[in-house]
Structure 1
Amino acid sequence: MGAIAQQRRVSKTRKLKRRTHYKLEVPGMVVCPNCGELKLSHRVCPVCGHYNGKQVKEIKVKEEKNDKEN
């Protein structure tokens, strides 16, 4: 069995009108009440690890190496 035959050609206007709803949505960003950085809503803050007023994830702080001081 093959593919279904096309019944009628779809005009450019009709095709584009249908595709107007195919768009990206902006993610819901909110300000973290603990550190003030932007984070995704209903998710743990990637900067400080707080969610719903509680520390739920430990964040490791990267130490900078200064070779010029040695």
Structure 2
Amino acid sequence: MAVPKRKTSKAKKRSRRGGKGLSVPNVSFDPTTGEYRMSHRVDANGNYNGRQVIEK
């Protein structure tokens, strides 16, 4: 069975796990409103893909 010869330091362990952090949200420009919004989401006015889907 594989056993480590030395204890892994906190810095070594944390630098190895550093890639698991936050990812950048997928934000795109909406030409109908002229604002940025997340992809596959309804905008603040209730429009989605150029259609009114939610009445305000």
Please report the TM-score for the alignment, with normalisation by the length of structure 1: 0.58
Which sections of structure 2, spanning at least 5 residues, go unmatched? Answer: none
What is residue 34 of structure 1 aligned with on the other side?
A: 32
Q: Which has the larger radius of gyration?
A: 1
In structure 2, the partner of 1:65 is: none
Stretches of structure 1 lacking an aligned partner (at least 5 in a row) = 1-6, 60-70
Structure 1 residue 53 corresponds to structure 2 residue 50: yes
Q: CA RMSD in A?
A: 1.8
Identity of aligned residues (%): 42
Larger mean Cα displacement after TM superposition, 16-25 or 30-39: 16-25
| Cα shift at 1:32 | 1.6
Secondary structure of the equivalent of 1:21?
helix
Aligned length in residues: 52
Runs of 4+ aligned structure 1 residues displaced above 3 Å come to none
Secondary structure of 2:28 counterpart: strand
Q: Which amino acid aligns with 1:29?
A: V
1:13 CA drift (Å): 4.9
> Normalized per residue, which structure has more strand?
2
TM-score by length of 2: 0.68
